[in-house]
Amino acid sequence: MAALDDVTVVSIEQAVAAPFATRQLADLGARVVKVERPGSGDFAREYDRTVHGLSSHFVWLNRGKESLALDLKNADDASLLHRLVDRADVFVQNLAPGAAERSGFGADDLRRRNPELITCQISGYGPEGPYRDKKAYDLLIQCEAGLLSITGTEDEPAKAGVSIADVSAAMYAYSGILAALHERHRTGVGSHVDVAMLDALGEWMGYPYYYAHYGGEPPKRSGASHASIAPYGPFRTGDGADVFLAVQNDREWQTLCTKILGAPALGTDPEFATNSDRVRNRDRVTAAIESAFASLTADSAMRLLDEVGIANARLRTMAEFAEHPQLAARGRWREVGTPAGPVQALLPPVTPSGAEPVMGSVPAVGEHNATILAELDAQA
C-alpha cells in the first residue's frame, strides 16, 4: 500500500506551485484530480514543446494525475465539481486571489459542506495586505524577496535558473497538507492551509536577511563563489576546467594548505586564519589555490581533494547530469508515460521504506472526464 492511497485530492491548478505540490501527493499514492479548462487546459501545457511535443514544465509537474476538464462558469460543471469536492479529502487551488470565492469554491464554503475537507490556497502575496491582488510570477517574487539582490555577479543580478519561488511555495503547501492530514486523523476535522510565495521564499532568505540586518551590509553578489565563505566556489585548473571546492572551517583550510597547496605556513598565516579573514582576502586565497592547480587537470585535482577530505564537485551540464554515475548506481531513474510516449523521470527524493513511488502517466486535457463523471453518476 502507498502512504496516501486512501486520500483523494481535487486541485484547480495551473503553472508550477500548486501542480508541484499535488504531484508529490500523487507520488505517495494519493488520487489527484486536476481540474483544467476545456480545450487548452493548464496554460503550462503551452510553455514549450520540447518533450516529444509536450511542455517540459507540464511533464515534470503533472505525472500521476487525472485530468478533468470543466468550465466553472457553467452551472452544471460547477455542480459536478462541488459533488466531487464533497467526497474529497483535500482541495487545492492557486487561482488569483478571490477567484475561488467568486466561483463558489472558497475554503469556508467548501468546509461547511464537507467538514473533514482540508483546503489549501497558494497565492503570490497572501490573502490580505496591499499586495493581495498584485499579479505574481516566479521571477517577480524572486525580485520582491530580495533574491536577485544577492544572486549574480558584482556587475549584474541574476535570477535562479529554476522556479525557486514556485518550488518553495509548493514544498510548504505539500508539507502543510501532510500536517493537516495528520491533524485530521486526531480530530476528525479538516483545516485550511494558506501559502504565499513571498512568505515561502522569504523563509529561504533567512541567512542573507540576518547577515544584512545585523551585519550592516548585505552579502555581496559573488557569481558562483559563496558570498560569505572562502574558499568556496570555482577554481581554474591547468587544463582550463573549473573545480569547485568548499572549505567549511579553519581545520579544513589548514589541510588544504598543507596537503594540496604545499604551503603549510599559509594555513596559520594571521591574514587567512579565520573565514572572515579569508573572505576579506579572497583574491589572494584564489590566487594561491589556482597557482597550485595550474599543474593539475580537473580530474587529478578532484582526486587529490577527495584523498584529503576536501569537498569538491565538477560543473556538470544537464546532459552530464542525466548520465550522473551516482544516480545510475542507485537506480534513480524510472519511465513515465505521457500522451506522446514514455519519458525518463527521477524517483522522488523521499520514499517511505518498502514502497515504490506511484509515478503514473501525464494526462491529456480531459482524459478522465468520462471515468470521473461515471463515478459521480454511480454515487448520486
The answer to which of 34-38, 59-63, 96-100, 104-108 has the lowest mean pLDDT is 96-100
Residue from 192, 226, 324, 368 carrying the catalytic annotation = 226
Regarding whether 132 and 65 lie in a shared domain, the answer is yes
Q: What is the pLDDT of residues 2-31, one digit of tens each?
A: 899 999 999 999 999 999 999 999 999 999
Q: What is the pLDDT of residues 308-351, one digit of tens each?
A: 999 999 999 999 999 999 999 999 999 999 999 999 999 999 87
In the block, cell 469554491 appears at 105
Q: What is the pTM (predicted TM-score) of this model?
A: 0.91
Cell of 50: 520540447
Average pLDDT (293-306) is 96
How high is the pLDDT of residue 25?
97
Does a structural domain hold residue 259? Answer: yes
Does a structural domain hold residue 194? Answer: yes
Regarding whether 245 and 269 lie in a shared domain, the answer is yes
Determine the longest span between alpha carbons in the chain, in angstroms: 81
Regarding whether 164 and 142 lie in a shared domain, the answer is yes
Regarding whether 162 and 249 lie in a shared domain, the answer is no
Regarding whether 245 and 177 lie in a shared domain, the answer is no
End position of a domain, from candidates 315, 345, 371: 315
How high is the pLDDT of residue 380?
54
Q: Which domain holds residue 252?
A: 232-315
Residue 99 — φ and ψ, nearest 5°?
-65, -40
Q: What is the pLDDT of residues 147-195, one digit of tens each?
A: 999 999 999 999 999 999 999 999 999 999 999 999 999 999 999 999 9
Degrees to nearest 5, angle at CA 296 with 328 and 224: 65
Domain of 258, CATH number, reads 3.30.1540.10
What is the SS3 assignment for 174? helix
Q: Is the pLDDT of residue 379 over 80?
A: no
Regarding whether 140 and 99 lie in a shared domain, the answer is yes
Cα separation, 111 vs 108, in Å, equals: 5
- Reply yes or no on whether 226 is catalytic: yes
Tell me the one-letter amino acid at 331: G
Average pLDDT (68-86) is 95
Regarding whether 297 and 337 lie in a shared domain, the answer is no
Structural domains in the chain (count): 2
Does a structural domain hold residue 218? Answer: no
